[in-house]
Amino acid sequence: MTAKIRKYILPNVPYLFALWFCLKLGTAYRLADGANIGMKIAGMGNTIGAALSDFAPGLVGFDWLVGIAGAALLRLVIYNKVKKAKKWRKDVEYGSARWGNEKDIKPFIDPNFKNNVILTGTEFLTMNTRPANPANARNLNACIIGGSGSGKTRFWLTPNILQAHNCSYVVVDPKGGVIGQVGSFLMKQGYRIKVFNSIDFKKSMKYNPLSYIKTEADILKFVDALITNTRGDGKEGDPFWQKAETLLYCALIAYIVFEGPEEDRNLITLVDLINGMEVKEDDENFRNAVDYMFMGLEKRKPDCFAVRQYKKYRLASGKTSKSILISCGARLAPFDIAELRGVMSDDEMELDRIGDRKTAAFFIISDTNPTFNFIVALAFSQMFNLLCERADNKYGGRLPHHTRILWDEAANTGQVPNLEKLVAVIRSREISLCLFLQAQSQLKALYKDHAETIMGNCDSVIFLGGREHTTVKELSEALGKETISMQTESRTRGQQESYGQNTQRLGKELMSVDELTTMDGNKCILQLRGLRPFFSPKYDLKKHPNYRHTAEADKKNAFDPATLFSTRLKVKPNDLFHVYEAGTVEEEPITGNGTVNEDIDADIFDYDDLDDPDAFV
């Protein structure tokens, strides 16, 4: 209400005085003696004193008419003057850029320090994405840019985890340093810890992508992510081969997920099926084991998704099919590694439930060998969709625990398909994405034209320092120009020596390229949507209230992810296993409940629908 008063009422107060004064002039005119207008105007000098002596305006219609007409005329004159006036922008003729200050950021900070995202040493952003004043709403997506050694982990990632908001964290952790630093603290705060370790699979929880596939659409999304992140760095060839691979992957995954037994619903089965698909170039009528599988499935479900995709793949000739299989085998070669097969045989990551309760999921990757980094991109691709669907279908559009995705080395862990669309819609589901880059050009190299869209959906951009030319040049342009005064002096020598001094205005970048590249290592630049940029100190990790709980502060707080795992086999009631006795013949295989299982050696796939059961040998 106060703002409306300042905007609409206060500017019009002077016109009320003008109305009152003109009204009194009307009263003086009415009281003056005279038979015509001229005589009455001349006689107003004798009546104006009496008219002004009474402050009350009176109720005479003529007086009010003169008052309103006079005030309206004054308003029209002023409006006309303002409209035709020259527009001066003193001191900002060449640019109005300036650094932000405490007053600018104050409306965006929560009084409770714990409820803020740490942006810099002096600027913070409330975790509440729906503040009382909608004009102060900002998404929590952020892009942190800094060269090697600029402190992305120490000055930004670690302090924000130590905030321990009532939210979940998904962290890409190169070398596993972050979980060792804050793991014990998170455990004490009641977090579930999940770890996928692509450096040492023996110290990793299991992740099975196929366990999250529920529909045919999920299959298409997964296959798209798989192909995107395993195509290598070379130039893309004929798209026919990629499309042909997609048909085969879709058919096999649909069979595994919707028709295969539960224990075989994993990528290992997919690899085994492709490895077992024999093709003869000179015999178009040759059928391998997988062909017979789909022939049987076609009899049971002729119109199912798996059959339709496989029939399209089978349109290829024997020679073409062999090339497709070779391409598939090369793409899935990493899954032939024994340790990786073990990790991906089951699922313990529970990516779809990260937002249900406080969870901290760490993806440990190698910063020198990117061979298995594509698995992180696969997991993230599924996770975004899973969390959005869970928020919509179970929680009415918002997860109970905000999920913060802290994606370090974002440009070196593969590509998430449609990230430019996902980053625009996850905010409403209580999900936020923080990208850590060494240079802005990395994002452009990975996402091409979509890089600008991704950056545009990050309301916070923090530059910690760097020398990459494209990054600092674009940042300098984004900061804008300020208007400065320049004084020049001149000296003329001759018979009569003269001196001159001239002052002029010009525009200068708020921070030039060379100033950015030589920026103090303790400083950073924050750009928050809708505000002036901030030139601030980086956040000091040692000043955080929870710093004492880190491994750096006390080695006793060091966390070993190996404590989360047990290599001891735990047999479930329905698990199948063999019992051996030394010196005796092999016993019949039995189940966990002690009953004999006669089908232990049976093939996991059903061929009973074939007309001739003996056709396949």
Distance CA 173, CA 365 (A): 6
**Tokens 């007086």 appear where?**
63
Higher pLDDT, 237 or 502: 502
- Give the pairing type, strands 576-577 and 590-591: antiparallel
On the question of pLDDT at 617 being above 50, the answer is no
Distances (CA, A) of 339 to 13, 198, 268, 342, 490: 81, 10, 11, 5, 78
Kindly report the average pLDDT of the chain as a whole number. Answer: 86
On the question of pLDDT at 515 being above 80, the answer is yes
Classify the phi-psi angles of 140: left when phi > 0, otherwise alpha if psi is within -120 to 50, otherwise beta. alpha
**What pLDDT, on a 0 to 100 scale, did the predictor assign at position 233?**
61
* Lowest-confidence region among 34-43, 332-341, 357-366, 474-483: 34-43
Distance CA 570, CA 572 (A): 6
On the question of pLDDT at 79 being above 50, the answer is yes
How many Cα atoms are found within 13 Å in the side-chain-facing hemisphere of 49? 2
CA neighbor of 27 nearest in space, from 12, 44, 39, 8: 44
- Give the pairing type, strands 431-437 and 402-407: parallel
Residue 398, judged by CB atoms within 10 A of its CB (0-12, 13-18, 19+), counts as middle
The percent of residues above 70 in pLDDT, for the chain, comes to 89
Mind giving me the DSSP string for 59-121? S-HHHHHHHHHHHHHHHHHHHHHHHHS----TT-TT-B-----HHHHGGG--SSGGGEEE-SS
Beta-carbon contacts of residue 465 (< 8 Å; ≥ 6 apart): 146, 147, 150, 519, 521, 523, 524
The residue-averaged pLDDT of 449-471 equals 94
- State the amino acid at position 374 in one-letter form: F
Beta bridge partners of 460: 142, 528
0.95 surpassed by pTM = no
Distance CA 75, CA 70 (A): 9
**What pLDDT, on a 0 to 100 scale, did the predictor assign at position 80?**
81
Q: Are 531 and 538 in contact (CB under 8 A)?
A: no
Domain edges within the chain:
2-84, 102-190+360-563, 209-341
Beta-carbon contacts of residue 164 (< 8 Å; ≥ 6 apart): 114, 185, 186, 189, 191, 546
User: What's the CATH superfamily of 102-190+360-563?
Assistant: P-loop containing nucleotide triphosphate hydrolases (3.40.50.300)
Q: What is the pLDDT of residues 228-286, one digit of tens each?
A: 888 766 556 678 888 999 999 999 999 999 999 998 999 999 999 998 898 888 777 88
DSSP summary character for residue 500: E
Confidence band (pLDDT; 50, 70, 90) for 568?
low
Higher pLDDT, 423 or 79: 423
Q: What is the pLDDT of residues 146-203, one digit of tens each?
A: 999 999 999 999 999 999 888 999 999 998 899 999 999 999 999 999 999 999 888 8
Confidence band (pLDDT; 50, 70, 90) for 567?
low
Distances (CA, A) of 370 to 59, 280, 365: 89, 36, 8
CA neighbor of 204 nearest in space, from 559, 550, 567, 557: 567
| CA-CA-CA-CA torsion sign (170, 172, 173, 178) | negative
CA neighbor of 106 nearest in space, from 479, 510, 531, 464: 531
Distance CA 316, CA 511 (A): 60
How many Cα atoms are found within 13 Å in the side-chain-facing hemisphere of 556? 2
**What pLDDT, on a 0 to 100 scale, did the predictor assign at position 471?**
93
Q: What is the pLDDT of residues 410-419, one digit of tens each?
A: 988 888 999 9
Distance CA 129, CA 140 (A): 8
**What pLDDT, on a 0 to 100 scale, did the predictor assign at position 582?**
59
**What pLDDT, on a 0 to 100 scale, did the predictor assign at position 85?**
66
